[in-house]
Each structure stands twice: as structure tokens, then as C-alpha cells.
Amino acid sequence: MQLSNELINDLQHMIEKASRERLSRDDLKTVCEHLGISKLYYDVDFEDDFRFRDNRVGKVVADEEIEGNKIMLYKDGQQTGLCLKYAYFFDDKEYVHSYQEFKIGVKKEDLDLEALKLFADLLYLLMSRRNMRKMLDISQNSDALTGIPNVVFLQKKYKELTRTIPEEDLLLIRLNLQNFRYVNDVAGGRAGDEAIIQYSRKLCTFVADDEAVCRLGGDNYVLVIRKKNLEAVQRKLGSVLISNLKSAPGVTFNISTWMGISEAVKGRRRPFFERLNEASAACELAKGKLKKPVVYFDDELVEAISKSRKILSMFRPAIQKREFVPFFQAKVDMRNGELVGFEALCRWIHEGHFIYPDQFIPVLDKNSLIPELDITIFKATCSAIRQWKNMGYDVPVISSNFSKKNLYVMDIDERIADIIDDFGLSPDCLEIEITESVKDTEYEQLMDFIRKLKNKGIRISIDDFGTGYSSLSLIHNINADVIKIDRSFVDKLPDDRRSRILIESIINIADRLHMSVIAEGVENEKQGRALLEMGCNKAQGYYYSKPVDFEAATKLLESTAFRPMSE
């Protein structure tokens, strides 16, 4: 075969072109024609007995080396032809990157090795560029931990889908895993990562080709699905089993989700991120305030969002106008009806009507404004104690609530101690209620907070005890004075066995650790008696008194006592 310098020139040009832009199939075809190549294979797995794309099996009958490249004859059925294999060796392993099959009749002597080598270089360049592009594409479009698509990919896919599918047929769903931190708490962070990977893979199988999934990070995902498939997907999401984790063998976690759904309005095209924001807002409410597994972004939700914006804008002026005041709820020793304390609970009195904590506490908490409120209520509580003392009353210990956001407030212990000092009070007439913490990351801070306040002589009470996962293990390490049994357990008394078992074990441990126990939310005698039987003597609840204002609380200080719980 006569090969011209022209061909070599052409090849060199092609290599240059390939480093700048894509080569067409036709470019390659022409060169193959000139080189006598009838078939070209590259970027495929080769074996010695290689399998052709059309499934013929070629058997190598002889091979020989030409300048580091293997040239071999292979037998294909009746015919014998010439092939050239380009390979490199690494760690004694052969990596073939291209393979050329020559036209029948081409002989070894006919081959222009220089041109063939150039051609092989060109193929290698194309291949590595393609792989590089693939890798880049993967890293830009997929989540690093799980390898499933990320939001960049989902946005593109959404655009692509809406070209053929009407927007109103597609639901955009934001997912958050329910109680996922439980996996981290029980099995540790590494198991958490493993669980996320396993969950992500399963999640990908829930959607069809014309639907999509992505991971946003943490335990957050987004789905784009056809409306008609919602029920099926929801069923699958309701219970996903995660098991066989290397870092937690033998444990199976059953994971369900919070879902926030954005529906499209007919005839109104909206950008992807607008819908994602809607779905996220709905999901936030699903797991936060509403505690409902599925929440749609609708008019009701828009109103809830505008309400919380309103609260935020009203907050500072309300502090200045002293609209936040403490109400006081009695704590009673059920054995003799004696008033043993008060809990100060915040009320917002705005233009003559009440706004209750469940309407504003979560909003303030989320926006980190709550420490300011807590300090305001604490000051007002100290002021009330001062007044009662001046009026000559014997004032029992009064507790005040502090949100966990205070764990991150600098010198919070100093501020609290200064306020107590300013009102001329002794620290032991006050108690700080803080809710039980479950996050690993908060645990250290919680201990630190408690240690600092205790050093200042202030009592600590652990609120809503029993609602976190790690309660019973935590209690040993937390140096609190009081444990408040959560209302949700008291609610189910006297009959619920699980509540009884839990309450009994809390009382047991508290006794051993010399902590005092109080039950909250006692509404009737049956509950009170059940608690007494189990050894919890103190209670707070509507059975005795609702939270009342300063004047009504003064009357409670005056009156002799509540009615003892009959045995």
C-alpha cells in the first residue's frame, strides 16, 4: 500500500484539530480508508480472545511485536486477516486502547507504521478527552458522597423534561428524611454516610426515565415526578429499609420522609428554582410546625409564611413596648397540695389580645432572635420576684425557659448572674429550664452551659424529658437539679404501659442521681394519682392552675394551698 506524506500531514492536522474541537466520524472514516483499515475498535474491553461488536469471535493465531505494538494475525472463521493492537503496559497489565482490523489481503509489508502510530496517538487523544469530559461531567453533575445527580443536573433535566411534558403534569418534591439523626446517634457518623449512600441508590430506583432525583446535601433530596405516579412513589417513600451497613451490621433502619410538594399552575411557566423554593418552604413546615408527612405549597402555606414574616417585623418594636410578659404556672407537691414553685411562660400581649408561644416561639427560634426574648422574660421574672419579696411573700423557686440557641451566646452565664444581682436576688431562687439536647454537636455546649450556670449557683431543669432519643443515657452525664417529664407521657396515663415504664425508669435514675422529678401537663386526678404511685410527687398542669398573670399569681401565693391528691 502506497502511503503518502500527505496522509501523515493530514493526520498531524487532525491531531491538532482534535485538541481544539470535536472530530467527526467522517474524518476518521477517510483516514481508515487510506490506511486500509476495515474496522476500528477503541474504548472497549479487549481480551486475547476478543469479542467483536457483531459478536464474531476472533482467535489470535500468531502475534509479533512491531516497535512496541503488537501486530497479530487472527483467524475469523475461514478467513485470515491482519490486525494491529495498540496497548500500553502498567503494573504488568496490558491496557489496550485501540484495535484495527485491516482489509482482507493487506499484508504486513503494506503497513505504514509511522502513519499507523500517529493514527493510534490520535485515537488515544480522542479517547482520553472523551473520558475526561465524562469525568468532568460527572463531577459537575453529581453529588460527591453518593454519586447520584446533584441539583445542577436536576435543573437541566427539569428544563429538558418540560420541553415535552406540560409543567402541570410534573410535581417538584423536596424530601427530608424523618429522624435521620437517629441513625447518626445510634450508629455513628460513618454509618450515617453509608446509610445515605444506600438510601440514595434506592431512591433512584423509585423514579422512571422521564422523572428525576437529586441529593441537595445532608438528608435532603429533590424529586421531579409525574403527577400520576405520586401515590406509588409516596408508598415507597413511606418505608425504606436500610440494612447491612458495614459500620452497623445487624441493624435495620426504617426510614420515612417529610415531603414538601410544589404543583405547577396551568398556563404559568415558572423557573425551576422558584418551584424548588416553594417545595422547600412546604417541607420545612411539614417537619417543623405541622409535623405532617406531606405538605403542599398552597394559599394556606403562603399565609403561614407571611405570618412569620410579620412576627419577625413586629418583634423588636414589641420588645421595646414591653409587650412580652411572663405568666406563672403553679408547681405543686401533690401529696399535700403545697405550692412549690412557678414556671414563667411567655405571653405576647399585642393591642389588647394575646399571642400564644406556639405562634411566635418557633419563628423566633429559627431566626435566632429567641435569646433576646428569653432574657426579657427572665428579667421580668426577676422583677416579679423582687416585687413579691418586697410585698413580704415567701416566694418559691421560679423557673424560666431558655432556648438551646442560648448555648451559643457568649457569656450567657455572666448576663444571667448580673440580672439576678441587679434585682438583689439570690441565685438559688431561680431555675433555668432547657430542653433535652440530642444532637452530638450540641451535647458539649449543653454540658458547658449547665456547668457554668451551676457554678453561679443557679438551678437547672431539663425540660420535655423523654422526647429525645438519648435521654436515658444522657441523664447520667448531665448535672441537672430537676427533670421535667414531658406532657406527652403524662397524657397517656394511667393506662399506657410504655409511658408507665418510661416514667418509672426516669424516676428511678433521677432518685439514684439525687435529682428531683416533676411531671408537666397533669390535667386530671387519675394522672396525678398514677404519678404519685410511681413515686413522682411534684406536678404542674391545668388540674391545678393554668399559667396566670402577676396579680393572679400573687393570689396563689396568698392562698393556703391546693387540694391534696386523694390516695
Positions in the binding site for Ca ion (CB under 5 A): 401, 433, 463-464
Q: How far is the CB of 562 from ligand C2E (least distance, A)?
A: 14
- Give dist(CA 197, CA 276) in Å, integer: 23
CB of 455 to ligand C2E, least distance (A): 22
Q: What is the C-alpha separation between 8 and 67, in angstroms, rounded? A: 18
* For ligand C2E, the closer CB: 297 or 562: 562
Q: With binding defined as CB under 6 A, does residue 346 bind ligand C2E?
A: yes
Q: Give the total of residues touching ligand C2E (CB under 6 A).
A: 24
β-strand partners of 343: 329, 399
112 touches ligand C2E (CB under 6 A): no
Alpha carbon distance 64, 72 (integer Å): 6
The answer to the question of residue 95 lying near ligand C2E (CB under 6 A) is no
- Residue 523 within binding range of ligand C2E, rule CB under 6 A: yes
8 Å CB contact between 362 and 334: no
Does the footprint of ligand C2E cover residue 341 (CB under 6 A)?
A: no
Asked if 393 is part of the footprint of ligand C2E (rule: CB under 6 A), the reply reads: no
Q: Between residues 174 and 487, which has the closer beta carbon with respect to ligand C2E?
A: 487
50 binds, among ligand C2E, Ca ion, none (CB under 5 to 8 A by kind): none
The amino acid at 507: I
Q: Does 521 interact with ligand C2E (rule: CB under 6 A)?
A: yes
Minimum CB separation from Ca ion for residue 276, in Å? 35
CB of 140 to ligand C2E, least distance (A): 43
Q: Which of 169, 323, 464, 525 binds ligand C2E (CB under 6 A)?
A: 464
If binding is defined by CB under 6 A, does position 370 make contact with ligand C2E? yes
Query: H-helix or E-strand containing 333?
Result: strand 324-333
Distances (CA, A) of 78 to 30, 75, 104: 28, 7, 12
Supply the minimum distance, in Å, between the C-beta of residue 329 and ligand C2E.
Answer: 6
Cell 397533669 belongs to which residue?
Answer: 522
From ligand C2E, Ca ion, none, interface partner of 521 (C-beta below 5 to 8 A by class): ligand C2E
Coil, helix or strand for 492? coil
Note the maximum CA span of the chain: 119
- Quote the least distance from Cβ 328 to ligand C2E, whole Å: 11
Single out the residue of 374, 413, 431, 436 in contact with ligand C2E (rule: CB under 6 A). 374
- Pair 331, 560: CB distance under 8 Å: no
Q: Is 528 in the site for ligand C2E (CB under 6 A)?
A: no
Peptide bond into 271 cis (omega under 30): no
- The region of 195-203, 352-360, 409-417, 466-474 touching ligand C2E under the rule CB under 6 A is 352-360
Pairing of strands 397-401, 430-435: parallel
Taking phi over 0 as left and psi of -120 to 50 as alpha, with beta for the rest, 254 belongs to beta
Asked if 345 touches ligand C2E (CB under 6 A), the answer is yes
- Would you say the C-alpha torsion 492, 460, 376, 449 has a positive or negative sign? negative
Which of 315, 465 has the CB closer to Ca ion? Answer: 465
- Nearest distance from residue 219's CB to ligand C2E, in Å? 25
Are residues 319 and 376 in contact, defined by beta-carbon separation less than 8 angstroms?
A: yes
Which among ligand C2E, Ca ion, none contacts residue 361 (Cβ within 5 to 8 A by kind)?
A: ligand C2E
Distance CA 451, CA 166 (A): 59
Beta carbons of 184 and 439 less than 8 angstroms apart? no
**What is the rounded distance in angstroms from the CA atom of residue 523 to the CA atom of residue 543?**
4
Q: Which is nearer to ligand C2E, 14 or 432 (CB)?
A: 432
Q: What are the residues binding ligand C2E (CB under 6 A)?
A: 329, 345-346, 356-358, 361, 370, 373-374, 377, 401-403, 463-464, 520-523, 540-542, 547
